[in-house]
């Protein structure tokens, strides 16, 4: 069964058609990349999937593990096992890294099989997995005093502890240094081992190379789904020279 199925999802804002009949699926342990130019609708698609305010008035249906979650709230989707790593990760004033990751650990999805719990990381191990020293970071606040890259890494550690069914990663490499990019690869590999499905939004060919499948989104349309290299080649050959189709089309109200 597909873990995530997106069926004919369309989204309009004012008279701009942001998403247009998007169909996409994700299997267990699969990495499905979404690529496309700035303004193509990649982040908007992830907001629709997460059920964010302002992105609920879409057409089409969303299924998680065969269950129709289209009408679910953000919290209900999170409980069902859908999590996201944001392009710009959130800040939480007054919460320490230790408390924030502790909450993630408490909300972890149960991956026990045959009565045996699959090894779960501790908060400190999760920090080490994203190359942040627990000694240095556990007592820090998850606020603006953390750099953008540090916040992204703390968020990734949080997802690692939560072990969702499906994770959407919106440009996990943006603002991240070379060392940490290697860590992202290791974490994605660990997600795959657990059978977690990953929707991976990226502009990086290096990150794209770990995907099993890729879809090219342009002006709210999926214009190609295939192997990562097929999608990347199509993008280079057909899209880079085309400036007309980057942004949402204006449509009649």
Binding site for ligand ATP (CB under 6 A): 13, 16, 18, 36, 38-44, 54, 87, 247-248
Q: Which of 17, 20, 43, 104 is the binder for Mg ion (CB under 5 A)? A: 43
CA distance 243 to 253: 24
User: Which region among 2-10, 47-55, 71-79, 82-90 touches Mg ion (by CB under 5 A)?
Assistant: 82-90
Hey, is 81 helix, strand or coil? coil
Told to check if 44 binds Mg ion by CB under 5 A, we report no
The least CB distance from residue 236 to Mg ion, in Å, is 20
Residue with tokens 């392009």: 87
- Looking at the DSSP bridge assignments, the partners of residue 25 are 5
Residue 73 neighbours by CB distance under 10 Å: 12
- Compute the Cα dihedral for 210, 216, 217, 222 and give only its sign: negative
Q: Using the minimum distance from each CB to ligand ATP, give the nearer residue, 47 or 191.
A: 47
CA distance 214 to 199: 9
Q: Using the minimum distance from each CB to ligand ATP, give the nearer residue, 41 or 197.
A: 41
Told to check if 20 binds Mg ion by CB under 5 A, we report no
DSSP letter, residue 116: B
Residue 119 neighbours by CB distance under 10 Å: 7
Quick one: what does residue 83 bind among ligand ATP, Mg ion, none, with the CB cut-off 5 to 8 Å set by partner type?
A: none
The least CB distance from residue 13 to ligand ATP, in Å, is 4
Told to check if 17 binds Mg ion by CB under 5 A, we report no
The least CB distance from residue 41 to ligand ATP, in Å, is 4
Q: Using the minimum distance from each CB to ligand ATP, give the nearer residue, 132 or 155.
A: 155
CA distance 25 to 46: 13
Site residues for Mg ion per CB under 5 A = 42-43, 87
């Amino acid at each position: 069964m597909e873990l995530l199925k997106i069926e004919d999802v369309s989204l309009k804002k004012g008279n701009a058609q942001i998403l247009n009949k998007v169909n996409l699926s994700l299997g267990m342990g699969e990495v499905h990349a979404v690529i496309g130019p700035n303004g193509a609708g990649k982040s908007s698609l992830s907001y629709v999937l997460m059920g964010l305010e302002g992105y609920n008035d879409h057409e089409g249906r969303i299924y998680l593990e065969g269950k129709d979650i289209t009408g679910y709230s953000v919290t209900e989707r999170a409980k069902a096992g859908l999590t996201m790593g944001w392009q710009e990760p959130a800040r939480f004033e007054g919460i320490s890294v230790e408390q924030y990751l502790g909450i993630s650990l408490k909300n972890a999805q149960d991956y026990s099989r045959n009565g045996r719990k699959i090894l779960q990381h501790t908060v400190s191990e999760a920090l080490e997995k994203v190359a942040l020293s627990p000694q240095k970071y556990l007592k820090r606040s998850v606020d603006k005093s953390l750099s953008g890259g540090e916040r992204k890494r703390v968020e990734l550690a949080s997802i690692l502890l939560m072990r969702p069914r499906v994770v959407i990663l919106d440009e996990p490499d943006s603002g991240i240094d070379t060392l940490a990019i290697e860590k992202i690869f290791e974490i994605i590999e660990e997600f795959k081992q657990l059978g977690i499905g990953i929707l991976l939004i990226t502009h990086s060919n290096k990150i794209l190379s770990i995907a099993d499948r890729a879809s090219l989104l342009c002006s709210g349309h999926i214009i190609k789904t295939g192997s990562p290299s097929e999608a990347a080649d199509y993008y280079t050959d057909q899209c880079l020279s085309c400036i007309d189709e980057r942004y949402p089309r204006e449509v009649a109200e």
